[in-house]
Structure 1
């Protein structure tokens, strides 16, 4: 969320940044006008309270001088002010809410090096910061070649026998799946492999968070109020809880309403959890298979750091997610998303897109975003700089998929499929599959 003072001081920069975000017509002048009304209400209210205090002292003085007429006149004026102050306070609350609601609906501002574009056609392939070897194209596994026409994941023999969409529809409706046998085991192996990689080699702390969260947590990371229709909610007495759309929500909110010491940063968290999405607006898209589900597992990465380190942390997090693809031998590319394709809370986002030979195309398997202090302001998450007596500063937050387990399962099935319907097991996963080198087949 933006600081209205920053918008007042930088209206042109704000308007330019917002003009680059998709379908957005917000203007600094409108927000400043609301803030001006708020400031005027506060001035009137403060003046009334100060006058009431002054008159109250004068009443005592008039009574001490036995000037009952003057005291009565002053008391009448105090009574009028007492009637005004509650209405003024109510007006202040109303305009504060109006301003907060307006600011809450505004997406983050893109960093200067984010390409400007309206949609995914404006995304640009990314080859690494200053040719960084961690993200250089040479590190990426090659596309597989086949002596037969590769199939999509749901038509591969082992998946066809162990990926049941029909029974899932009877249980829960469309966009669900029941995995069985060796495919279920492979999905579990992928999640465990990713967790072990990120905790043992990349320094993330494993967390098992709640899967149901309050609206305040969803607000903190930017899912609410703007995207209320995109999520699943469950009734809880007179309140409600949201099923997490990603573990980003509980992991990032671990630092809400706190003041950290700079020495504690960076904090790095990871979790393997289900994610729940209503997929609003996706009718008719990816209706077959597992690509777009209401429920799917994902390994999430979250970092909390200082403003000075957040850009470097973004590159580091990307490299961590890329390592999953490299260890599994999956060909992929990295895209720097344009202003019109980025998520609400992001200042910059890299998408890792894995190659799916059955579809003959790349599909997104991980998004890695730096959010600056956008989420921290919504969560009131701050830190105290080391050796300084200045006021606490807002932390910077980052999140990324490390990676989406269901889509990674699709990628392994399609990239390692054999003509007889079996699927080879990537070497990195074999210890998690009790040594199996292949599943399925005749």
Structure 2
């Protein structure tokens, strides 16, 4: 829709408030709300925002970042294509936005723009990236002992599905009403843990869709059912972790040919696909700082957790950081895709996808060759097999991942100078705060934010 059509839609639906949303470097969905009486002008000119807002980290601490001080403003400029009415609220809609300078030029603190640049680089290489985030989340209720899981049931069981059905049905309906295609809705391994999967789309659309998804799941649980829904990677100390596994595939620019497909070996990826995997593995320590960016993220990345705890890849191997997802018979050329297991719900999807694209493109450009794929859990391989597969440990904590990011020129160049400095400063401050306050404090605060 164009500006005129959005104004007409707001009037026709009797919408009262329109949220101009964005995702900050900490992965938090923020924004400002415009009244319908102002939408005709604000839809194009945007809303003012202090530059300092993007220097607020996950724990709501304002960190000193040069170029992100409380002096001067940028503009929140909504993308018309992301307009949806929010079914769990009364007369309210939202759009996701770019953050731009007052003259309309790009601002280095906009995470959505970082992804746009990575997409443009892929386009220049003749590649169109499609993606989808496969998100796990917990439903929880308030108790005297803090948030506790709600509607427990055996994993993938009909009884588990039944117990959460009142909430899950509303979530599915609210997603569908906004135009999203829901493929699966299931109960997961943890007590109260759920998963809803949306169909893949182009890379920018996938990131926008994931943020709309997060908002819908949280809003439906809180507003319609009085529950919490949290995408935190490790909300309960003894519980199963939650991921936001990133599925993606590489296509020709016309969208007709899946470049991962290997016609000579239908269940294996192509040479281009292997090059991409090699690049992703090469830059994995730095990429991790953006796909598993929070202090609590590293409490999930443990052996035998189906989360990926090593730099590794394999075919349908859910213990590897990168899994080649097996294609479906008769749809091999369309359905073969890659899955990044080391990705969770605290990530900013624009930055996560950008890092993956940049790393993989580097592998294609340099024709990197990946090591031998792991045929079983990397922790169970013999030392000789681990060497053959070049199994290496991931960064063990947030600080190690940030150090790797700082040293990786390809990824920091892709982020841009201001964004890179912002992420390093705000995330390191998070780490220091979490160490000071303790694991329980960090888990609870991450739970409530995500």
Report TM bin, short chain.
Answer: under 0.3
If asked which structure has higher relative contact order (CA below 8 Å, sep 6+), I would say: 1
> Please, what TM-score do these two structures have when normalized by structure 2?
0.24
The structure carrying a bigger helix percent of its residues is: 1
Q: Which has the larger radius of gyration?
A: 1
> Please, what TM-score do these two structures have when normalized by structure 1?
0.24
